Amino acid sequence: MKILFIIITLLSFFYNHLYAETNTQAVQKFDPESWYMIDVYLDADEHASTGMKSDWLYTASGIDYLAQSTFIYKHSGIQGSNQWSWTDLSSINRMCSFDSIFVEGLIMKNGLSNPSLQDRFGIAFPYYLHNTPSTDIIYFPENNDAYQQKKMFNIKPRQIIELNSYAELHAKDAYYYPFMNDQDIDSYLDFEATDNAESKNRQWASWAIQINNPDIYSLSLTMQHTEPTTLNITLIDMATNNTIKNFADIVIHTAHPQFTEITPGSINLQDIPAGKYMLKLKDYAAFTNSLKVEKIALNQSSSGTNSLNNETFNMVQNAGTITVSGHTLFNFNIYSLDGRTEVSVCNVLKHSHKLNPGVYLLYINSSNKNIVRKIVVH
């Protein structure tokens, strides 16, 4: 991977979304006159002995690189000292959204060497908000003497999960609130207990999914939690970053001290156009609740594989193609709702047929079984 994308929209997420959800403050905006001066500090190797070891700025870190304005700089002073000395490496691409809420920066990762950017690295953003004094700098994470919120970020591969008739969303593929405990992120998401409700409500996780077959899906979660909990799932359009659907809260009344598969119901995606989305999960339980989530599974329930999986027949629907197979010879008919015959075959063990979007009736009969199913093709 040659490009490191540092998206300062993270900042707008933590401030914009947090305030929007708690309704305690209006949406925060970057100052359009100063957004280009938003700095990005990188501790590339987790060593305070390399780069600038400041006596006032993130004092527990060695700052190796500084992205400022449209340039990326490398610390050129005495290593491990407080010397403010930087050498220009190259330019970077930056842009600000029209509403001053999102700022993005694009840095070539292969241009960062000696030290190179490790799989674990530190990152911080000082920035200005709209209509605040120019001297009023906000730091994320907070810049304090002990650097108590110091967090090393990992570069980890993620994948867009295809949702046809079944999908599993594993912890290792989740994007998540950076200050969640991620020591065991490859095994589970840790919505850990905190010391206050505000910190708990900031925790979130989301998965990139490609919805190919909008339908009703049964939902199951493999999780453990110390107290009864209330979970919330929303669907976010990747193209616009807007929440396009909120699903009913999932209320779980009993604690599960061990990892348990829980099936609380279903989510209806029939009114969602096919495309790329983020499926976001939040925990609205008491802040003392410790929740761990291994995975979420989505299984098509209205017209898909589950409705016709048994010891004799199996049906798979993929991008409008219906495939039925059996262990014994069967007759296979599909009719549109106006009575037209779409397909009629006899004495087969397997048959596939491509259907246009619509609602159909599937008839299967053999010597000992007769099955009728409604099929919805999007």
- The model carries a pTM of 0.51
How many alpha carbons fall within 13 Å on the CB side of residue 36? Answer: 9
Q: State the Cα–Cα distance between residues 271 and 299, nearest whole angstrom.
A: 17
Mean pLDDT (whole number) for 302-328: 66
Do 189 and 256 fall within a single domain? yes
Identify the weakest region by mean pLDDT among 177-181, 182-186, 277-281.
177-181
Mean pLDDT (whole number) for 236-254: 89
Tell me the CA distances in angstroms from 57 to 64, 88, 123, 134, 145, one per residue in order.
Answer: 13, 21, 12, 18, 8
CATH number of the domain within which 230 lies:
2.60.120.260
Do 269 and 373 fall within a single domain? no
Q: Are the beta carbons of 167 and 209 closer than 8 angstroms?
A: yes
Mean pLDDT (whole number) for 139-145: 69
- Residue 310 confidence (pLDDT) above 60: no
Do 254 and 361 fall within a single domain? no
Tell me the CA distances in angstroms from 257 to 18, 33, 55, 131, 296, one per residue in order.
Answer: 29, 52, 45, 48, 18
The pLDDT of residue 247 is 92
Q: ω into residue 157 within 30 of 0, thus cis?
A: no
Name the range with the highest mean pLDDT among 94-98, 118-122, 235-239, 318-322.
235-239
User: Side chain identity at 364, as an amino acid letter?
Assistant: I
Who has greater pLDDT, 36 or 161? 161
Do 230 and 338 fall within a single domain? no
- Residue 17 confidence (pLDDT) above 50: no
The pLDDT of residue 23 is 35
Mean pLDDT (whole number) for 304-322: 64
Identify the weakest region by mean pLDDT among 201-215, 277-291, 353-367.
353-367
- Residue 234 confidence (pLDDT) above 90: yes
- Residue 242 confidence (pLDDT) above 90: no
Parallel, antiparallel, or unpaired: how do β-strands 204-211 and 161-163 relate? parallel
Q: Can you read off the two tokens belonging to residue 98?
A: 């029209």
Domain range for 20: 3-154
- Residue 324 confidence (pLDDT) above 80: yes
Mean pLDDT (whole number) for 333-362: 84
Mean pLDDT (whole number) for 312-339: 80
154, 180, 200 - which closes a domain:
154
For residue 245, name the pLDDT band (cuts at 50, 70, 90).
very high
The pLDDT of residue 19 is 32
The pLDDT of residue 259 is 94
Do 68 and 138 fall within a single domain? yes
Do 23 and 123 fall within a single domain? yes
CA-closest candidate to residue 174, choices 261, 117, 233, 102: 233
- pLDDT tens per residue, range 60-119: 889 999 988 788 999 999 999 999 999 999 888 777 766 666 677 778 888 888 899 888
CATH number of the domain within which 353 lies:
2.60.40.3080
Tell me the CA distances in angstroms from 374 to 125, 345, 353, 364, one per residue in order.
Answer: 54, 18, 15, 12
Q: State the Cα–Cα distance between residues 204 and 92, nearest whole angstrom.
A: 30
- Residue 157 confidence (pLDDT) above 50: yes
For residue 155, name the pLDDT band (cuts at 50, 70, 90).
low
Tell me the CA distances in angstroms from 264 to 75, 201, 267, 376, one per residue in order.
Answer: 53, 21, 10, 24
Q: Are the beta carbons of 284 and 177 closer than 8 angstroms?
A: no
Mean pLDDT (whole number) for 118-138: 74
Do 169 and 127 fall within a single domain? no
216 CB-near residues (< 8 Å, 6+ apart):
266, 267, 268, 269, 270, 300, 301, 302
- pLDDT tens per residue, range 26-52: 455 666 666 666 788 999 998 889 999
- Residue 186 confidence (pLDDT) above 50: yes
Domain total of the chain: 3
The pLDDT of residue 7 is 40
Place of tokens 């040659």: 2
Do 370 and 321 fall within a single domain? yes
Name the range with the highest mean pLDDT among 248-252, 284-288, 323-327.
248-252
Do 173 and 294 fall within a single domain? yes
The pLDDT of residue 330 is 85
Q: State the Cα–Cα distance between residues 280 and 243, nearest whole angstrom.
A: 10
154, 180, 199 - which closes a domain:
154
241, 269, 300 - which closes a domain:
300
Do 24 and 148 fall within a single domain? yes
Tell me what the pLDDT averaged over the chain comes to: 79
Q: Are the beta carbons of 11 and 29 closer than 8 angstroms?
A: no
The pLDDT of residue 133 is 65
Do 170 and 236 fall within a single domain? yes
For residue 357, name the pLDDT band (cuts at 50, 70, 90).
confident
Do 65 and 147 fall within a single domain? yes
Q: ω into residue 273 within 30 of 0, thus cis?
A: no
Backbone φ and ψ of 46, nearest 5° = 65, 20
Q: Are the beta carbons of 234 and 277 closer than 8 angstroms?
A: no
For residue 148, name the pLDDT band (cuts at 50, 70, 90).
very low
